Chains A and B, each alone.
Chain A
Amino acid sequence: MARYPDGFDVEGPVQAEVFVVWLAGDHLELTGPCGPAPWLLQVGPAEHPVEIVTRIVRDVIGEPLLVHSTSWRRDREAVILSFVVVIDRALVGSMASLPVGRSELARGEATAAPREIATAQVVEHGLRHMAWLAKDDPVVAAELPAGWRECLAGYVPEPFRNLG
């Protein structure tokens, strides 16, 4: 039987961790059905992670503007794929939301992952990844709502990487 001593929890060898981000005036905020907390999805062996995240976000919140996997790490006895999902402010509705704070990145060694990675560090890297895409990927640049580029300007661009 699955491990459920503390109640229902996402499990499986591959999990998606979704950070739903929207532009609240002049700053970015985290929201979602779990509020600003990471939203975990199970990814089955025959499922494509991007398709799963897009479908579930569409069903639960509404049509996302952008869905991008921004990092991966080993945690929760699984490989965790982190996604930044950009939504329009009109979809936030009554979902709890909090401004995105800044954080130092988790840095590993030359051939080893960081020993600890905080959620805020995953989000920081995700938004640095989006800053990189905003400059490098014409599709992302075109889809980002007005005002996003200004908010991302403060993030040092970084491509996809292993966080742990």
Chain B
Amino acid sequence: MADETITVRCACGWETTGPEDDVVAATVEHGRRMHNMTPTRDEVLAMAVATPDHQDSPAR
């Protein structure tokens, strides 16, 4: 999964797409800053989905 582009969507509308490490970092930061939550790497990966078109777009 490390080479895949993955996507995590938050119920609040926020979304991030990119390589695994970037998505994990962005999601942990979003959870901490916006929702007072600190998901683990495993939790982030469990909520991630493979990006359908597999484009190399950076996490945002």
Which A residues form the contact surface with B (CB < 8 A)? Answer: 1-2, 4-12, 33-35, 37, 39-44, 47, 52, 56, 59-60
Contact = CB atoms under 8 A, between A and B. Distances in A.
A7 B35 CA distance: 14
B42 A8 contact: no
Interface of B: 8-14, 27, 30-31, 33-37, 39, 42-44, 46-47, 49
Contacts of A34: 12-13
Contacts of A47: 36
A33 B36 contact: no
A8 B27 contact: yes
B12 A40 contact: yes
Nearest 7 interchain pairs by C-beta:
A4-B47, A7-B9, A8-B10, A9-B11, A34-B12, A41-B36, A42-B37
B9 A41 contact: no
A101 to B, nearest CB: 20
B36 A52 contact: yes
A6 B49 CA distance: 9
Nearest to A96: B13
A10 B47 contact: no
B60 to A, nearest CB: 14
Contacts of A59: 33
B39 A7 contact: no
Given A1-B43, A2-B43, A7 B34 contact: no
B12 A37 contact: yes
A21 B25 CA distance: 31
A2 B39 CA distance: 9
Contact of B35 (A2, A4, A5, A10): A10
20 contacts: A2-B39, A2-B46, A4-B43, A4-B46, A7-B49, A8-B8, A8-B11, A8-B27, A8-B31, A9-B11, A10-B35, A33-B12, A34-B12, A34-B13, A37-B12, A39-B12, A40-B35, A41-B36, A42-B37, A59-B33
A67 to B, nearest CB: 14
A8 B36 contact: no
A1 B10 contact: no
